[in-house]
Structure formats: structure tokens, C-alpha cells
């Protein structure tokens, strides 16, 4: 994931500060030197780093910090606030036109992920009740129109195309089509280039003049670091963009683009692409990202993911079963499916407070364990799922053969299930809330530790 290296280096700098009861001005300056190096190694713009370190230092050497009983915590708080401010302070939403359709013009260099991420954004808007239309305005790249049609079909979103004709005429016709057919949003997938050139920009300016888009959104590849920031600056000078979407933040990007693009262009990052799947897109929240960079987790995004994967009807059924101590392997399977809907285990754990990159690297996270567990449970008969105690050696051999695993994995799953059953029984009776709170304070309630693939399993 992006920012891993930066998170580790910042954590190391803060660890040195925590080891001291009181801080001197020289302690602060030494920490700032390490923070400056960490940001530069993360490919953050030199000017941005210089201004950031100055702002943090000016605040950190104040008497209220140096004389504080917990000065290290105060400095971490200052760094968190300055990182948040650097990235834009708060989430900026997509502008919606008061007179439909809202026209979103997607621009960017070739290879930035513009077509896929534009479709992801249209899919996100569809989930929010909009009726989007994708328009194929890239007439140069081989198979660009076909690619847009494929992702549009997967998302259930119509695609408007006129073949390899004039992009300006395609854009105008798409807006007219949307107006006539009740599409309240139009996403224009425009052409990119391997680098910024005048011909490309003139064409994009002509499209902008023809359709007067509600929003011009630049898609930049987070993997390209400073090149992404330079591209953003050029597109902004030519087109006066309204916002940025960062793609490929799930890769090994060093994160410099996310920390630099707002400061350099003055335009907000509005969305981030967090994976290859068409639902892996999130609104960009500067405060949440700052917390993740500092290893503080991102509980708000984790909660939102849980709500999206949450099935209220099944939750009510599970609650009724817990009250009568009837938690079965079928229920266990339903919980696995909902957890899988929140994304990879690595991503879910990375959003938990106190779980930093180095901790995740040292932890044993088996992403395939859930799939094996699903295969095991689905290889059982309905009776066996409801009554796992009936699984003798012969039945286990049959299930193992069906799931393509060893009998030992069946035994391991049953042991995990028994532990989870015990935990559920503890929380199903009177005073369950107090028990859960007490176990949480003692560190015995691991949240998702009972699921396959999680550390410690």
C-alpha cells in the first residue's frame, strides 16, 4: 500500500521523542530533520516539504508544547493537523448541476487509469441514486471505446459512442442524448497522451467550450510521484481543473503525489482509487488519510465499508440466533461473506488504530484462508453446517476432497468455529455489553481475530 515507507519513518521519529520526558528545541529540530528526509524520500515536492517542516517547527517549539507533560503527543497532533491542512482539510464533494445533466469531464495522461476510474466514479454515483451515462470521447487509443463498453456493462451503465469521429461533436451529442433519455450525469472519457502536448490541450479546451462541464476532474497515477504533480500543474494551467482523482493508491506508491498535488495546484483531491475492482473507489478525506499515514488507523472509513457490506436482515436473524445460542457454520459463512465485501484483510487491518505498516508486514495474513474456508463450508451438506458435531472422520474426508484441502484444515476450522461459538455465547446473555467492554479493556476481544486469515489464527 501507498505510504508504507513514510509511515514507518515517521513512526521511528516519533518513537525517539516519546522516549524523553521533556523536549528541548534541539530535540524538535532533530525530529523535524528526520521528518523532512522521510517526506523527500516519499517523493513529496521539495517546496512543499520546506513549507510543511517550517510550519510544524514554528508550532512545535512554542512554550505550550515544550513545557507540556506529553510533548511528543503534542508534536504528533501538530504533524497530523498540518498533514490534514496540506491535503485540503476536508473532503470536497463532486459538484452537481442544478439543471441536469451534470457533466463531468475526465482528463489525464494515457495510462493514468482514466477510463476505469471514471467508470468507477460513475458506478459510485449510481449507488447514490444517480442515472449516469458514460461517453466515449477517446477516439485515438486502440480499443478505448471497447474498454469503456466493457466496464460500463459490468456496472450496468449505458455507454454513448459515435465511433472515431470528432470528440467535440461526440461530447455535445452525449449531453443532448442524456438530456433526452433522463440521464442526470454524463461522464466524458476524453483522450490522453503519453505526455502533455499542445494539440491534446487544444482539443480538451474545445470540448470544455462546447459542453461547459460542471466539473473537470483530472485522473493522475499515484505511482508516478512527482510526474503526477507536474502533470496536474500543466492540466490545471490549460483547463482550470476542479479537482483530482488519484489512481493506484493500492500499489507501492510512495505517496508524494497525494501530499503535493493540493499544495502545487490549489485544487482538491476528491477521490482515490484503492484497487483494481470496479467498486474500489473512495471519497478522499484529508484527515483520515493523515491518520493512516501516522499509523493511527482510519476507523471512519472502516465503519463506512462495514455499513456497505452489512445485511440488516441477516443481522437481525443472527441476533435472534445468538439469543438462543444457535450460531451455526451457515451463520459463520454469512459473516465471512460480509467481511470479504469490505475488501482485503490487509486493507481492513490497515485501517485499525495502532496497526502500522511494519506490524502488518510482520503479521501472518493469509488472504486465501477465507476462500478455503468458504470452500470447506460449501462442501458440507446443510445438515452438517447446522450440526458440525456430526462431522466424523469419514465425513471430514469427503468434505476435504470436495474443498481440495487436507483434513487438518477441517479440524482447524472447527476449532476456530468452537472458539467463536464460545465468544458468542458469552455475549448473548444478560450483561453482554458490560462483558464486551470488560474484555476489550483487557485486550481479550480482538474484533475479527476469530476469522480465518487474521493474525494469530
Interval 75-103: pLDDT, tens: 888 888 888 888 887 888 999 999 999 99
Instruction: Select, from the ranges 240-254, 317-331, 382-396, the one with the highest average predicted confidence (pLDDT).
Output: 382-396
Distance CA 28, CA 24 (A): 7
Ramachandran quadrant class, 64 (left: phi over 0; alpha: psi -120 to 50; beta: rest): alpha
H helix intervals, 310-356: 312-323, 329-340, 345-350
Q: Are residues 368 and 290 in the same domain?
A: no
Q: Given pLDDT bands bounded at 50, 70 and 90, which one contains residue 246? A: confident
Q: How many CB atoms lie within 10 A of CB 341?
A: 14
Q: Given pLDDT bands bounded at 50, 70 and 90, which one contains residue 432? A: very low
- Backbone angles phi and psi of 353, in degrees to 5: -55, 140
Interval 400-426: pLDDT, tens: 999 899 999 999 889 888 887 777 666
CA 230 from centroid of its chain's CA atoms: 24
Instruction: Select, from the ranges 218-232, 242-256, 269-283, 353-367, the one with the highest average predicted confidence (pLDDT).
Output: 269-283
* Structural domain containing residue 374: 302-442
Spatial contact of 117 and 189, defined as CB atoms under 8 Å apart: no
Who wins on pLDDT, 117 or 333? 117
DSSP state of 128: T
Q: Are residues 371 and 405 in the same domain?
A: yes
**Does 211 score more than 60 pLDDT?**
yes
Q: Given pLDDT bands bounded at 50, 70 and 90, which one contains residue 435? A: very low
**Mind giving me the DSSP string for 59-120?**
HHTSHHHHTSSSHHHHHHHHHHHHHHHHTTSS--PPP--SSSPEEEEEE--TTS-HHHHHHH
Who wins on pLDDT, 235 or 346? 235
Give Cα separations from 317 to 60, 223, 309, 435 (angstroms). 53, 44, 16, 22
Q: Given pLDDT bands bounded at 50, 70 and 90, which one contains residue 5? A: confident
| Three-class DSSP category at 311 | coil
Q: Are residues 124 and 75 in the same domain?
A: no
Q: Which of 28, 52, 86 is the last residue of a domain?
A: 86
**Does 359 score more than 70 pLDDT?**
no
Asked, for residue 350, whether it belongs to a domain, the answer is: yes
Give Cα separations from 179 to 32, 102, 172 (angstroms). 55, 10, 11
188-205 mean pLDDT: 87
Distance CA 51, CA 53 (A): 6
pLDDT at 433: 42
Q: Are residues 205 and 224 in the same domain?
A: yes
pLDDT at 381: 93
pLDDT at 180: 95
Q: Are residues 314 and 214 in the same domain?
A: no
Q: Which CATH number does the domain housing residue 283 bear? A: 3.40.50.300
pLDDT at 298: 46
pLDDT at 207: 95
Closest CA to 229 of 198, 271, 189, 262: 262
Distance CA 1, CA 251 (A): 5
Q: Are residues 358 and 237 in the same domain?
A: no
Asked, for residue 92, whether it belongs to a domain, the answer is: no
Give Cα separations from 244 to 94, 263, 434 (angstroms). 11, 12, 46
Q: Which of 262, 281, 296 is the last residue of a domain?
A: 296
**Does 56 score more than 70 pLDDT?**
yes
Q: Are residues 347 and 424 in the same domain?
A: yes
Interval 162-190: pLDDT, tens: 998 899 999 999 999 999 999 999 999 99
**Does 306 score more than 70 pLDDT?**
no
Q: Given pLDDT bands bounded at 50, 70 and 90, which one contains residue 318? A: low
**Does 446 score more than 70 pLDDT?**
no
Q: Which CATH number does the domain housing residue 381 bear? A: 1.10.260.30
Asked, for residue 447, whether it belongs to a domain, the answer is: no
C-alpha cell, 358: 511494519
Distance CA 282, CA 25 (A): 40
**Does 214 score more than 90 pLDDT?**
yes
- Residue 101 preceded by cis peptide, ω within 30: yes
- Backbone angles phi and psi of 328, in degrees to 5: -115, 175
pLDDT at 449: 45
Closest CA to 168 of 132, 139, 145: 139
pLDDT at 209: 96
Asked, for residue 450, whether it belongs to a domain, the answer is: no
Q: Are residues 168 and 314 in the same domain?
A: no
pLDDT at 311: 56
Q: What average pLDDT does the chain have?
A: 79
Report the alpha-carbon angle 312-318-324, nearest 5: 145
What length does the chain have?
457
pLDDT at 297: 52
Q: Are residues 115 and 148 in the same domain?
A: yes
Which residues are bridge partners to 105 per DSSP? 188, 216
Q: Are residues 267 and 394 in the same domain?
A: no
C-alpha cell, 68: 507540556
Asked, for residue 457, whether it belongs to a domain, the answer is: no
**Does 64 score more than 70 pLDDT?**
no
Q: Are residues 119 and 260 in the same domain?
A: yes
Q: Are residues 308 and 277 in the same domain?
A: no
Q: Which of 51, 86, 121 is the last residue of a domain?
A: 86
Closest CA to 370 of 426, 420, 409, 324: 409
Cell 516539504 found at: 49
Asked, for residue 454, whether it belongs to a domain, the answer is: no
Amino acid at each position: 500500500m501507498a505510504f508504507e515507507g513514510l509511515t514507518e519513518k515517521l513512526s521511528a521519529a516519533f518513537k525517539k521523542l516519546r522516549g524523553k520526558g521533556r523536549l528541548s528545541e534541539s530535540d524538535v529540530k532533530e525530529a523535524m530533520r528526520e521528518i523532512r528526509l522521510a517526506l523527500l524520500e516519499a517523493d513529496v515536492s521539495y517546496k512543499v516539504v520546506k513549507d510543511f517542516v517550517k510550519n510544524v517547527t514554528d508550532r512545535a517549539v512554542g512554550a505550550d508544547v515544550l513545557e507540556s507533560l506529553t510533548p511528543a503527543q503534542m508534536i504528533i497532533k501538530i504533524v497530523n493537523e498540518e498533514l490534514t491542512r496540506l491535503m485540503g482539510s476536508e473532503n470536497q464533494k463532486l459538484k452537481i448541476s442544478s439543471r441536469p445533466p451534470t457533466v463531468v469531464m475526465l482528463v489525464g495522461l494515457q495510462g493514468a487509469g482514466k477510463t476505469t476510474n471514471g467508470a468507477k466514479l460513475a458506478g459510485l454515483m449510481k449507488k447514490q441514486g444517480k442515472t449516469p451515462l458514460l461517453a466515449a470521447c477517446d477516439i485515438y487509443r486502440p480499443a478505448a471505446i471497447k474498454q469503456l463498453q466493457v466496464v460500463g456493462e459490468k456496472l450496468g451503465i449505458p455507454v454513448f459512442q459515435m465511433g472515431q469521429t470528432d470528440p467535440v461533436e461526440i461530447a455535445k451529442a452525449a449531453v443532448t442524448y442524456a438530456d433526452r433519455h433522463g440521464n442526470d450525469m454524463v461522464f466524458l472519457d476524453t483522450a490522453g497522451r503519453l505526455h502533455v502536448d499542445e494539440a491534446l490541450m487544444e482539443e480538451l479546451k474545445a470540448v470544455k467550450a462546447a459542453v461547459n462541464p460542471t466539473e473537470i476532474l483530472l485522473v493522475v497515477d499515484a505511482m508516478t510521484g512527482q510526474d503526477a504533480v507536474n502533470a496536474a500543474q500543466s492540466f490545471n494551467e490549460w483547463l482550470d481543473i476542479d479537482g483530482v482523482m488519484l489512481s493506484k493508491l493500492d500499489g507501492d506508491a510512495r505517496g508524494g503525489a497525494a501530499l503535493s498535488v493540493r499544495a502545487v495546484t490549489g485544487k482538491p483531491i476528491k477521490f482515490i482509487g484503492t484497487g483494481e475492482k470496479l467498486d474500489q473507489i473512495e471519497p478522499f478525506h484529508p484527515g483520515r488519510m493523515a491518520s493512516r499515514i501516522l499509523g493511527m488507523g482510519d476507523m471512519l472509513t472502516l465503519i463506512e465499508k462495514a455499513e456497505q457490506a452489512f445485511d440488516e436482515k441477516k443481522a437481525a436473524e443472527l441476533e435472534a440466533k445468538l439469543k438462543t445460542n444457535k450460531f451455526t457454520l451457515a451463520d459463520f459463512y454469512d459473516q465471512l461473506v460480509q467481511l470479504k465485501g469490505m475488501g482485503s484483510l490487509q486493507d481492513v487491518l490497515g485501517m485499525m488504530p495502532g496497526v502500522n505498516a511494519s506490524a502488518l508486514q510482520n503479521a501472518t495474513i493469509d488472504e486465501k484462508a477465507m476462500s478455503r474456508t468458504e470452500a470447506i463450508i460449501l462442501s458440507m451438506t446443510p445438515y452438517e453446517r447446522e450440526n458440525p458435531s456430526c462431522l466424523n472422520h469419514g465425513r471430514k474426508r469427503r468434505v476435504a476432497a470436495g474443498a481440495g484441502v487436507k483434513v487438518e484444515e477441517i479440524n482447524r476450522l472447527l476449532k476456530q468455529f468452537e472458539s467463536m461459538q464460545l465468544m458468542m455465547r458469552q455475549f448473548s446473555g444478560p450483561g453482554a455489553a458490560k462483558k464486551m467492554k470488560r474484555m476489550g479493556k483487557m485486550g481479550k476481544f480482538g474484533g475479527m481475530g476469530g476469522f480465518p486469515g487474521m493474525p494469530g489464527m
